[in-house]
Amino acid sequence: MKSYNIAVIPGDGTGPEVIAEGIKVLDAVSGKSGFKLNYTNFDFGGERYLRTGETLPAGAIEELKKFDAIFLGAIGHPDVKPGILEKGILLELRFKLDQYINLRPVKLYPGVDCPLKDKGPEHIDFVVIRENSEGLYAGAGGTLKKGTPDEVAIQESINTRKGVERCLRYAFEFTKKRNRHNKLTLCGKTNVLTFAFDLWQRAFNEIAPEYPSIKTGYAHVDAITMWFVKNPEWFDVIVTDNMFGDIITDLGAMIQGGMGIAAGGNLNPEGVSMFEPIGGSAPKYKGQNVINPLAAICAGGMMLEHLGETRAARAIETAAMEVTAKHIKSLAAGRMGLTTTQVGDLTAKLASAV
Ligand code: IPM
Ligand code: MN
């Protein structure tokens, strides 16, 4: 039987709880689809950092490169100063594994309460492709005269032609393969960030003729936040830089019902990719069996899709939709009407029956 080696990083807070449910569902669909998943656990996260002072140990990246994919719970610990774990683990993994695409579907599942008036599942189904290796996240810049009245802080956005182009090409290919509305929107700020988004816009315009079947559009980032709320049905696929992608996908998560359902993939199409629920470690719910595992379950589905196991991936999404439509009261932690493990059990059962 075909098998895949999966590196599992359960991480902090509720990460281990949701990852356990994710694995439960993955195992419920794999056999029937003719493959097997072998898991290897890694204890990277806040607990390990507090114990050892280490974020990612030496050799971790080389070790992870040997796997077919990485399944990540959440990184973030209330006792660790902000920035250390984010930069030392999550961003380090994204950068060192060159996961240059952050793929974030925004889809309103049936039965889910949408905060937007008069909008339903037929209006909210798009994908944000966030550049994941450059921009303001590259860490370029520095401070001068720190702590004095003359302090200077510079944080530069790095946009390379190669980095922008590989992201845009991925986005065009993705839009074509998705074949929904065949529409790709570039999200930027060409009216103010006239260096960075001039590069993005020129590269976008140069690639577009290679995809005559794809309709192209452009939206400024501030305007897109308005349209996500007013006319989310306008969007099919959106491509944007790292910082704007970070911001608009949190808004995206809210219009699809909240962090309880939002999943994402950090992709290196030529290397190892990593899949995660995007909601964070939610430490206040740790150990209570109340957190919603559907985001992690859906991230597992995205991982299977990425591995080419389309049938099994669809089974997971179908089951998750049935759960939201018929079985849980709310996506919010503690208000689902079921426990974390019950949602996992139910989704696994439904998925294996698809
Ligand atoms: C995300 C998160 C991260 C980011 C943080 C935790 C570094 O917000 O995955 O969107 O900014 O990319
Ligand atoms: Mn974010």
| Token reading at 58 | 């030496």
Q: What is the largest CA-CA distance in the chain?
A: 66
- Delimit the CATH 3.40.718.10 region(s) of the chain: 1-109+258-354, 114-256
Three-state DSSP at 51 gives helix
C-alpha 249 to ligand 2 mean position (Å): 7
Amino acid at 19: I
Task: State in Å: Cα 279 to ligand 1 middle.
Answer: 9
Contact 101, 129 (CB under 8 A): yes
Q: Which two tokens stand for residue 184?
A: 């790709």
The answer to whether the pTM exceeds 0.95 is: yes
Q: Is 92 in the pocket of ligand 1 (CB under 6 A)?
A: no
What single letter denotes the amino acid at residue 8?
Answer: V
Give the distance (Å) from ligand 1 centre to CA of residue 242. Answer: 10
Does ligand 1 lie within 6 Å of residue 299's CB atom? no
**Distance of CA 205 from the midpoint of ligand 2 (Å):** 28
Side-chain half-sphere exposure of 285, counting CA atoms within 13 A: 21
| Other CB atoms within 10 A of residue 180 CB | 11
DSSP per-residue letters across 8-29: EEEESTTHHHHHHHHHHHHHHH
Residue closest via CA to ligand 1's atom 7 equals: 86
Q: How many Cβ atoms are within 10 Å of 66's Cβ, its own excluded?
A: 10
Measured from the CB, is residue 12 less than 6 Å from ligand 1? no
Q: How far apart are the first and last CA of the chain?
A: 20
Instruction: State which amino acid sits at residue 338.
Output: L
Residue among 263, 354, 348 nearest 27 (CA): 348
Atom of ligand 1 nearest to the CA of 242: 12
Ligand 1 touching residue 253 (CB < 6 A): no
- pLDDT tens digits, 65-81: 999 999 999 999 999 99
Residue type, 138: A
Minimum-distance ligand 1 atom for the alpha carbon of 246: 10
Q: What is the pLDDT of residue 8?
A: 98
Q: Give CA–CA dist 141/163, Å, rounded.
A: 19
Collapse the DSSP code of 138 into the 3-class scheme (helix H, G, I; strand E, B; otherwise coil) and give the result.
Answer: strand
**Ligand 1 atom closest to Cα of 102?**
9
Atom of ligand 1 minimally distant from the CA of 87: 7
Quote the ligand 1 centre to 246 CA distance (angstroms). Answer: 7
Contacts of 348 (CB under 8 A, 6+ apart): 24, 25, 27, 28, 319
Residues with pLDDT less than 70, the chain = none
Alpha-carbon gap, residue 146 to 95, rounded angstroms = 27
User: At 126, which helix (H) or strand (E)?
Assistant: strand 125-131
Query: Using CA atoms, how far apart are residues 157 and 246, in angstroms rounded to an integer?
Result: 14
CATH number of the domain at 114-256, please?
3.40.718.10
Distances (CA, A) of 124 to 81, 108, 120, 236, 253: 36, 5, 7, 9, 11
| CATH number attached to the domain at 1-109+258-354 | 3.40.718.10
| Dist CA 41 CA 25 (whole Å) | 17
* Segment holding 206, helix H or strand E: helix 196-207
